[in-house]
Amino acid sequence: MDQDGGAEAPRQGYALIVGPVGPDRDWAAVTLQQAGLEVAAATEEEILGGRDWVPPTLVVLDDQGTRDERKASQRRLQAHPSFVGVPLLILAYDNDIDSYTGALTKGAAGYLIKPVGADEFTAAAQKLCDWKRNADRSEKRRRLRRPLLMKVDIDLRARKVRVPGELVDASGAGCRIELKEPLEIGDLVRIILHGHEDSTHVALGAEVRWHRVAPSGVHVVGVRFTGTTALLAGKLLGFASTGLT
């Protein structure tokens, strides 16, 4: 995993909210606008109706249908020529673990349960917009990584402590994680993946390859998967489903 460097650039582009007309979509649009993001909204029918869309920085699927309908919408949006390589954030009422993991392993960058708090929603949207902007600065980096927001626990074997964090993006070789405590280069860790509420008890072995402190003060580490994890991580994290690799 490569380490990003330099100060963050101003946000640019726009977020596209896809969903039926109604209060849910209106809330999502107003919430992101109040956070300073440029927003457009459309139904899926309008998206698929032949209009050439300027590629957005983020697509938000405001789901109000069944699980099968949501899966179909996700597939269609990810296949749209204007949205290839654009992070997809799903807002849905289904709170079961299969819906959560299924969406992520099929390429969604994040899955939030409705009703979601404004702070959580805007934080996820801004993080994904920033990821897209930074990824576009490097074609190589864009191909190697996919954005993926997921809560994790970092199990430090040598120190026998567990530190909470958030996975930011992943590839077949490793991932980047944000956390409030520093890790040492060379640390051997277990990454415990979370569902939307609690741990899934799925653990990925990894080695810390680099560490930096972001302008916000959060610690960012790049880890490389080790052992059999390196063979399984692609399927577990779904990075190959997005067209980014």
Which of these three, 113, 140, 167, is where a domain ends?
140
Query: Structural domain of residue 191, as residue ranges?
Result: 145-241
pTM: 0.85
% residues pLDDT > 70 (the chain): 81
235 three-state secondary structure: helix
How far, CA to CA in Å, does 123 sit from each of 28, 58, 126, 129? 13, 13, 5, 10
pLDDT at 161: 85
| Average pLDDT rounded to a whole number, residues 59-81 | 95
Span of 14-23, 100-109, 187-196 with lowest mean pLDDT: 187-196
231 and 158 together in one domain? yes
Q: Is there a domain that residue 26 lies in?
A: yes
| Average pLDDT rounded to a whole number, residues 161-177 | 90
84 and 153 together in one domain? no
pLDDT at 228: 75
How far, CA to CA in Å, does 109 sit from each of 48, 101, 148, 163, 210? 21, 11, 4, 22, 23
**In sequence order, what are the beta bridge partners of 51?**
none
111 and 150 together in one domain? no
222 three-state secondary structure: strand
Which of these three, 86, 110, 140, is where a domain ends?
140
pLDDT digits (tens, 9 = 90+) for 43-60: 999 999 866 889 999 999
pLDDT at 74: 97
| pLDDT greater than 70 at residue 244 | no
Structure tokens belonging to residue 206: 């990894």
Structure tokens belonging to residue 189: 């860790």
Question: Which has the closest alpha carbon to 177: 160, 156, 158, 159?
Answer: 156
| pLDDT greater than 70 at residue 137 | no
Query: How far apart, in whole angstroms, are the C-alpha atoms of residue 207 and residue 225?
Result: 6
125 and 161 together in one domain? no
130 and 171 together in one domain? no
pLDDT at 134: 72
